[in-house]
A and B are shown apart, each in its own frame.
Chain A
Amino acid sequence: MKHLTQWALLLLFSISMSPLFAQQKATLSGHVKDVANGEALIQASVIVQETRSGAYTNEYGFFSLSLDPGTYTIKFGYLGYESQILTVELTESKQMEIELVNKDVTTQEVVISSRAEDENVKQVEMSTVKLQVSELKKLPQLLGEVDIIRNIQLLPGVTTVGEGATGFNVRGGNVDQNLILLDESPVYNSSHLLGFFSIFNADAIKDVKLYKGGIPANYGGRLSSVLDVRQKEGNNKRFAGTGGIGLLSSRLTLEGPLGSEKGSFMVAGRRSYMDLFLKLSPDSNINNNTLYFYDLNAKVNYQIGEKDRLFLSAYSGNDVFGFQDQFRMSWGNQSATLRWNHLFSDKLFSNFTAVYSDYRYQIGIPESEDNNDPFDWTSHIINYNAKADFGWYASPKFTLDFGANALLYRFKPGDVDFLGERTNFNDFELEHEHALETGVYASAEQKVNDRLTLRYGVRLSAFQNIGAGKVFIYEEGKPRTVANIVDTVTYGRREVIETFTGFEPRFSANYVLDDQRSIKASYNRMKQYIHLVSNTTSATPLDIWKPSGSYVEPATVDQIALGYFQNFADNQFEASVEVYYKQFDKLLDFKDGAQLLFNETIETELLSGEGRAYGAEVMVRKQKGKLTGWLGYTLSRTERKVAGINNGDYYPANYDKLHDVSLVVNYQLSKKWDVSANFAYMSGRPITYPDGRYDFDGVIIPNYGNRNGARTPAYHRLDLSANWDLSKPDKRFKSSLSFGAYNVYNRRNPYSISFRPNADDPSITEAVQLSIFGSIIPSVTYNFTF
């Protein structure tokens, strides 16, 4: 911890020195916003025509540019918005609030990406993708639910084990290696209905950004990606609403100003209603079931004076499933984030964040006459995070981000109460675990010259597994089994059980060849201190997370990526080719047949392995015009190596897919109609075939050979949709109908192939392919705004 403090001091020192070399300059700072609703525009460009220098706005729409005093022509630009060119006489530091007009409102032109026009080429950032919700809303969606995670899976470098599987895999990373942030609060399970839908209500979301590589130093704690989802701030100009009625769910978002444009609020709700359909069934086996999910999002923000702004956001979501009166299950995330933006000066932007989050699940058999052993089983992961982030805009050529955070974890992996009076079982509670993860970081962005921009930084992280707790000691040199426990060490409250530290350098470079072309490179090292304990094909909501500690080491990944970026035809087309290589170390793996739930000695089931992933990603994206969309292609390999599995040789990971093609297009037919299509093709996923069969006590057992030595047939699917704008001109109330069809040509894509004896004649064995969707799934959704 000591060197972390030194780092922080050094940073503060360098900031306090800043006036020394910036004295004669004047600073132009402010925010760029959408004129219609006051939403901050993230990564809008602020270009000084005379000096050809510029800046991009940060996550809060803030920018700051230090210039010699003089008169400048400044262009504020944001893709899809009318640019604004202002002449600014800068004699002393000045603040400006810029409001841009969305072109969609004024012209027929459709623009789908939320960022500066030439960002693809000019920004040092690589391996990142931004998605705009308004773009996604036009695309075909399963059952008409606009699903951010499902759409992310259409991007190069992102795969999934199969339809309906929880989460996503980025560049060979496991599902637990994605840092999913909803207004900076960590999300442990991003799925509804076990993976079919995600928890993000598209109407409440403003901005989605996925980092696959070159991850900036302000993020830490996961190996493979950051999915940064930001909720809408709310319209500060007028009261407004957005909503929709779909086959699966309905949703309503309300937003409006608080105190004369000083602040705004947003509340959103969504609930599914499959259970209402279940009730209609005459079959009592079905109409007694419960099955629904809901999401509630809320956010308020308020400007206090010129330098301060507060944001408070909250999310609550839940899935509830009940099987007649025999079984109950629910899971969900709850979180709250308080943020305070403060301008220490027009060059030093700061944001302080406090986060509380709780991921919880509950399973039980309710008390009733028929149920012999009713029980209630709950599990929690509770997080408290405190964070301070600073952005220092020293000059147009040099900016520095730095900050620190402390994240406290409380893991309550399982608590079972048996409820009945004459229950057969004893109550049971798994030991709680506590951990503190701290980090400090600094990241500088430097424009070395007109062509070369560098971003370099480091994150220093520390992780402490703390008491109270007990650690079993196993006999040395013997396999780690319950029988070989020789001692138990008990740690007191707040006593440190184990400490880990990490040095995580981050580096990116952009070399601009000309206005339309650039070459980028990046390197990052990431550390992950908490691990999902799951050995099933698709993670379940019941999986627990395990902090690093006495028997679990932190995992590390090193990633290098190289890319070529080019824009065509007046920035209408953005193209990129990237190659990456990742080396993983100390990945958690599991013994065959591991018992992972309710295991006090879970370390006896764990293995540690390495992994590697490499590939090439090509993406061509068209952002403007009647035809928009993207074409992505990924050629990749993801492999694991674990002593004790597959003779210790490298084997393909479950989500390894050699080829992955996706085509996403939207075409504006007329003022009233637009049509969209998705096409996805992926190589089959690895599975294990039996190399023989035998019996044990008459039970026929397939003998599985090489782990993941075979593959399912390839996956491909086409989805179509059409959107019909029903709005009347000059009316505030606007509405549209979306018609969709998922899996248009009834492809039965294999999810798994399993092996079993024939039900009628057990001496005949057969292979059974499971397809999650065996047919076309139509949908219709009604959307409105006012």
Chain B
Amino acid sequence: MKIKINQLSALYISLALLTLLSTTACEDIVEINPTNAEPRMVVNGRITPFQGQNWVRLNKSQAYFERGESPVISGATVVLEDDAGRVDTLVESAQTPGLYPIEQPGEIGRVYALSIITPEGEHFRSDPERLTEAPPIDTATYYVEPATEADEEDEYFVLLTATDNAGTRDFYRWRYSINDTIVTDPEELSFSNDNFLDGNQVRDFQLNFEPFRQGDTIRVEQLTITEDHFLYLNLVFNQTAFRGGLFDTPPAPIRGNVRSVDDGNIYALGYFYAAGMAEKTLVME
């Protein structure tokens, strides 16, 4: 459940190849000069039923090899709407320009959409996202792989148990932070559908590939996401974690769910999602 079966197999094929090629294959960092496109709006936003966990962040895309943080979009008009008539104009954070926190949490079963008017006056809108209740995390434990060498550290891996809703097509994502820093390594993207496990209790599936260290505080969010969000994550995973081998899929622009109101072919990068959430925090002792 940690990763889907096809990703698993592909991963192992790569491993097979690596074993085989370890003597001959090599990687080099090369200089290339791609043509850069005009900067575009990047939307990162979410709404969950948890207070203080919801926000919209607006940035601009950068040239691929540009150093430094991406520029923020300040002074946009950002409005959150739902299917029960809520119209919520978000106020940009004073401390963090480009961040538009959502004060009022989401409700289960509601459908949310985002409307953005950029400082330049362009009007964007997200596709509707339904917030579906997340099943609880039944248990969250961890196990320790003791270090074998003196200069190594013990390795900690978190195991989760959760139960899928029977009879519905569900999509899940696990998002976690180490000591309040969200993990952004693409290989640690964790998401699944319930194709092979509808209605099952899935026991002790491993959350992290990269080991945690002793003393780390891990906070896990178990999110119930929409199919669109799942497909988006899948594209992100394929184009970030899974590159540079024999079995790459063709890279392509990833369309998120925010597009121009005037011209449907113009779209913003990034994704705005609504998700049910269950969370657990545990300390690696």
Contact = CB atoms under 8 A, between A and B. Distances in A.
Contacts of B271: 696
Interface in B192-206: 195-198, 200-206
Interface in A371-388: 372, 375, 377
Interface in A330-355: none
Interface string B50-76: 000000000101111111111000000
A479 interface: no
Interface string A396-426: 0000000000000000000010100010111
Given A645-B252, A696-B44, A752-B245, A598 B6 contact: yes
B253 interface: yes
Given A692-B63, A768-B30, A772-B25, A372 B9 contact: no
Contacts of B30: 750, 753, 767-769
Contacts of A755: 64, 243
A500 B182 CA distance: 54
B226 to A, nearest CB: 11
B247 A538 contact: yes
A748 B247 CA distance: 19
B200 A426 contact: yes
A771 B234 contact: no
A408 B85 CA distance: 60
Contacts of A592: 235, 250, 252-254
Contacts of B89: none
Nearest to B15: A323
A704 B247 CA distance: 17
Contact of A771 (B26, B39, B70, B269): B26
A710 B33 CA distance: 10
Given A770-B245, A774-B26, A291 B19 contact: yes
Interface string A194-226: 111000000000000000000000000000000
Interface string B26-45: 11111110111101101010
Interface string A745-773: 00010111111100000111111111111
A250 interface: no
B61 A692 contact: yes
Interface stretch (A80-88, A435-443, A683-691): A683-691
Contact of A699 (B6, B37, B197, B236): B236
B64 A768 contact: no
B61 A540 contact: no
Given A327-B12, A597-B9, A763 B238 contact: no
B10 interface: yes
A703 interface: yes
A595 B234 contact: yes
A415 to B, nearest CB: 13
Contacts of A772: 21, 24-25, 246
Given A697-B175, A710-B34, A774 B24 contact: yes
A252 to B, nearest CB: 24
A775 B43 CA distance: 45
A700 B240 contact: yes
Given A694-B59, A698-B182, A752 B244 contact: yes
A407 to B, nearest CB: 29
B109 interface: no
A654 to B, nearest CB: 8
A691 B35 contact: yes
A700 B70 CA distance: 11
A699 B186 contact: yes
Contacts of A424: 1, 197, 200-203, 205
Interface in B74-109: none
A193 interface: yes
Contacts of A654: 250
B93 to A, nearest CB: 17
A289 B245 CA distance: 21
Given A291-B20, A692-B40, A701 B254 contact: yes
Interface string A304-337: 0000000000000000010100010100000000
Interface of A: 162, 164-165, 193-196, 274, 278, 286, 289, 291, 321, 323, 327, 329, 363, 372, 375, 377, 416, 418, 422, 424-426, 428, 482-483, 535-538, 540, 542, 592-598, 645, 654, 688-705, 707-708, 710, 748, 750-756, 762-775, 777
25 contacts: A193-B20, A194-B13, A291-B19, A323-B12, A323-B16, A323-B19, A375-B5, A424-B205, A426-B198, A536-B246, A536-B247, A592-B235, A592-B254, A593-B231, A593-B249, A692-B36, A695-B184, A696-B232, A699-B186, A701-B239, A703-B64, A765-B64, A768-B27, A771-B28, A774-B25
Chain A to chain B: the 4 pairs with minimum beta-carbon distance, closest first: A698-B184, A754-B244, A774-B26, A689-B34
Given A426-B196, A538-B246, A752-B243, 8 more contacts: A594-B249, A691-B34, A692-B39, A700-B186, A702-B240, A763-B68, A768-B28, A775-B24
Interface of B: 1, 5-6, 9-10, 12-13, 15-17, 19-21, 24-32, 34-37, 39-40, 42, 44, 59, 61-70, 169, 175, 182-186, 189, 195-198, 200-206, 227, 231-232, 234-236, 238-240, 243-254, 256, 269-271
